[in-house]
Copies of this chain bind each other. A is one copy, B any other.
């Protein structure tokens, strides 16, 4: 993206780009049919459960002024607005932990001032929101988001791991609380006696670990050996909500022999309870706030604005990583502008504002990638099967598949995708040559259609607005379902927090490098045997370790800052600080080529380009339940960022990519990524240990191959 700060240019570009595909966003989503419910439910749960927990936390910290009803309302309302009017529909909005920390700080401040007090807290917050919105407008209009690509992988992944640590901390804290008497509870009641508290805590351990382990297992259901295909698909798609249901049911098993209140369950007022409405009319109190506080509100507002600017943009960036091969343009500037309006709205009706959330936003994209993969795959398999029943030759089969595949693609990527299909041809030739001639009829027992097609399919994301809209509506529906939600044990929520933290570790290169450091030297060759990121072959191990240790120390410092009572809200500044650190300090310690590889995928942004609307979305109707999506599961969680940038850093900075070229860059990485290791091998891809790649990993070889790659 160009770093020009001409007012309104970024917003204009965003609007133009997204306007081109707005209609397709809806049509594509609707065409996917019922299948869209899988990613929708997945994201709904990932979105609603933390929001409910944060609501509970807020209720505790604000003496009941704000509750889960308000956090749910904010998430639903902002999500609804964003899914309809927003730029990037892959971005998921919600009330996040930093907002909760911020509001707690503001409440404590208001409570301590006699001329504000808890009664004027919401009115004062409204002023803070107004100020925040002003800053956000300024940032959006002046194009501040155009420097978002200076937040390289190092910043995004560090922030991702920090969020994971906060989630894990919340899980552990929650479990410890299960052994203690909660605040504001009556310690005389039966369930808080030492004996029952011990039982409650132990039961909480069982429930939370039960949920964590089963949920992690269920996500891998597609690669299970047992059970029929549709069952495995169903469990993989809906496993997490199913497990919440299951463990909630388990929590009722000892109900007859324990006092009410064991295990502890979610507590929140129903939206129709008296007092749950007070916040909506806050606007009439706003002028009661003393003028000094109205002006002073700009101080917390700057912090919130910085936080939202970073959080919203990075969440959006992580949802649009290069490896997802997105086709539609991004919309950073316009989304920030819209966020400003939503912050005002939330402020005026007295609910905490929402912003783009991690890890839900990248989870959303991943789940849509699986969906798109399944749709594409079903179509190609059907084509191939019909060829086989017609007793076509291998050559004919190849032609038909190629045709079918190209029909579903945008014209822009034709030359790329057909490269993927050449692989299919090669592998089929290899198969047939061992038995028969190329023109003989194919037998499905010999040619495993599904496997071959899985091997060549690229990662593609079903980009649309329907899943985001539906999940927002479902979050809104949660408010009505509050009595039902209140049956969920808090310990199950703890397990869910831990699940969220762990689920998002694979694919994070920072995390994978930490693991690499702990990998025994004799086992490092195993990393090479799998699909792996480029830096493993091009950067010496000691440099990888040094870089990772630096990043880890930085992470621990950032995490430590969140523990400081009030200054803790400044922790986003640590992430901001990474931009100059990356640009000016790190190059003094690491070679440019190494940094290039360790901090790859600069999230090339694409200016608006003509978007062909007669593309995808034509397949939704033919889609049925898939047999198997595990290959993709592996690809999207394991092999992120495997692509070496096609363009050198120089060309990238000197010639800002425009139009077709930019789009080509975004999609050019496609064929390199999608080959299975087997095919890579056959193509003679560079591997320092020959075909098997089984040699022990040694820095010497890495350097050698580094040279040969010219890095």
Are A696 and B226 within 8 A (Cβ)? Answer: no
Q: Using a CB-CB cutoff of 8 Å, which residues 188-228 of chain A contact chain B?
A: 193-196, 198-199, 202-203, 205-206, 209, 224-228
Q: Do residues B205 and A195 form an inter-chain contact, with CB atoms below 8 A?
A: no
Verify B228–A445 contact, CB threshold 8 A. Answer: no
- Of the listed stretches A114-122, A513-521, A611-619, A638-646, name the one at the interface; the rest are far from the partner chain: A513-521
Q: Do A431 and B695 contact each other (CB < 8 Å), given the known contacts A227-B520, A229-B520?
A: no
Chain B residue with minimal CB distance to A258? Answer: B198
CA distance A198 to B431 in the complex (A): 62
- In the complex, the answer to whether A515 meets B202 with C-beta atoms within 8 Å is no
Cβ B694 vs Cβ A520 within 8 A = no
A290 lies within 8 A of chain B by Cβ: no
Tallying the copies of this chain within the complex gives: 2
Q: In the complex, which residue of chain B has the Cβ closest to the Cβ of A230?
A: B520
- Measured between beta carbons, the chain B residues less than 8 angstroms from A435 are 690
Do B225 and A515 have beta carbons less than 8 Å apart?
A: yes
Residues of chain B within 8 A (CB-CB) of A202 are 199, 202-203, 205-206
Query: In the complex where A205-B206, A451-B694, A696-B448 touch, is A523 in contact with B434 (Cβ < 8 A)?
Result: no
The CA of A628 and the CA of B627, in the complex, are separated in Å by: 37
Q: What CA separation (Å) do A228 and B518 show in the bound complex?
A: 9
In the complex, residue of chain B having the shortest beta-carbon distance to the beta carbon of A203: B202
Distance in Å from the Cβ of A317 to the closest Cβ of chain B?
30
B226 touches A518 (CB 8 A): yes
Question: A448 with B205: in contact, given A195-B195, A228-B520 (CB under 8 Å)?
Answer: no
> Residue A254 at the B interface, CB < 8 A?
yes
A701 within 8 A of B: yes
Kindly state the separation between the CA atoms of A518 and B198 in the bound complex, as whole angstroms.
40
Interface presence of A18 (CB below 8 A) = no
Task: Decide if A194 touches B257 in the complex (CB within 8 Å).
Answer: yes
Q: How far is the CA of A660 from the CA of B425 in the complex (A)?
A: 55
A698: interface (CB < 8 Å): yes
CB–CB A695/B445 < 8 A = yes
A526 (CB) vs chain B CBs: closest residue: B225
A205–B254 CA distance with the chains assembled, in angstroms: 14
For A431, list chain B residues within 8 Å (CB): 690
Bound Cα distance A691, B446 (Å): 12
Q: How far is the CA of A188 from the CA of B200 in the complex (A)?
A: 22
Asked whether A232 is an interface residue with its Cβ less than 8 Å from the other chain, the reply is yes
Could you give, for residues 260-303 of chain A, a 1 whenever the CB lies within 8 Å of some chain B CB and a 0 otherwise? 00100000000000000000000000000000000000000000
User: Is A522 an interface residue when CB atoms closer than 8 A count as contact?
Assistant: yes
From B198, B257, B448, contact of A695 by CB (8 A): B448
B698 A445 Cβ-Cβ under 8 A: yes
Report the Cα distance A448→B688, complex, angstroms: 13
* Contact size range, A: 35 or more
Q: Which residues of B contact A691 (CB under 8 A)?
A: 434
Contact across chains for A519 and B695 when beta carbons are under 8 A apart: no
Q: B226 to A515, Cβ gap below 8 A?
A: yes
Q: Which residues of B contact A434 (CB under 8 A)?
A: 690-691
Closest residue to A227 on the B side, CB-wise? B520
Chain B residue at smallest Cβ distance from A228 = B520
B696, A445: Cβ atoms under 8 Å? yes
Interface positions, chain A 244-268, Cβ under 8 Å from B, are 254, 257-258, 262
Question: Which residues from chain B contact A203 at a C-beta distance below 8 Å?
Answer: 198, 202
- Interface residues in A407-455 by Cβ distance below 8 A to B read 431, 434-435, 445-446, 448, 450-451
CB distance from A664 to the nearest CB of B (A): 35
Q: Which residues of B contact A254 (CB under 8 A)?
A: 198
How far is A435 from B688 in the complex, measured between Cα atoms in Å? 13
Residues of B within 8 A of A257 (CB): 194, 198
User: CB < 8 Å: which of B224, B450, B519 contacts A226?
Assistant: B519
Interface-centre pick from A195, A196, A227, A228 (highest chain B CB count, 10 A): A195
How long is the Cα–Cα vector from A202 to B254 in the complex, in angstroms?
11
Q: Which residues of B contact A695 (CB under 8 A)?
A: 445-446, 448
A691 closest partner in B (C-beta): B434
Give Cα A689 to B450, complex, Å. Answer: 15
Chain B residue at smallest Cβ distance from A254: B198
Partner of A520, one of B195, B232, B451: B232
| Chain A 501-539 near chain B by CB (<8 Å), digits 1 or 0 | 000000000000001001110110110000000000000
B627 touches A522 (CB 8 A): yes
**Complex: A206 Cα to B627 Cα, angstroms:** 36
Tell me, in angstroms, the Cα distance from A228 to B517 when the chains sit together. 11
- Neighbouring B residues of A526 by C-beta, 8 Å: 225
Residue among A446, A520, A525, A696 with max Cβ neighbours from chain B (10 Å) = A520
What 10 A-B pairs are tightest by C-beta distance, nearest first? A202-B202, A199-B199, A195-B195, A198-B199, A226-B518, A225-B523, A225-B519, A195-B196, A202-B203, A205-B206
Q: Which residues of A contact B (CB under 8 A)?
A: 193-196, 198-199, 202-203, 205-206, 209, 224-229, 232, 254, 257-258, 262, 431, 434-435, 445-446, 448, 450-451, 515, 518-520, 522-523, 525-526, 627-628, 689-691, 694-696, 698, 700-701
With A202-B203, A225-B519 known, 9 other A-B pairs at CB within 8 A are: A196-B199, A198-B258, A226-B518, A445-B695, A445-B696, A446-B695, A448-B525, A448-B695, A522-B628
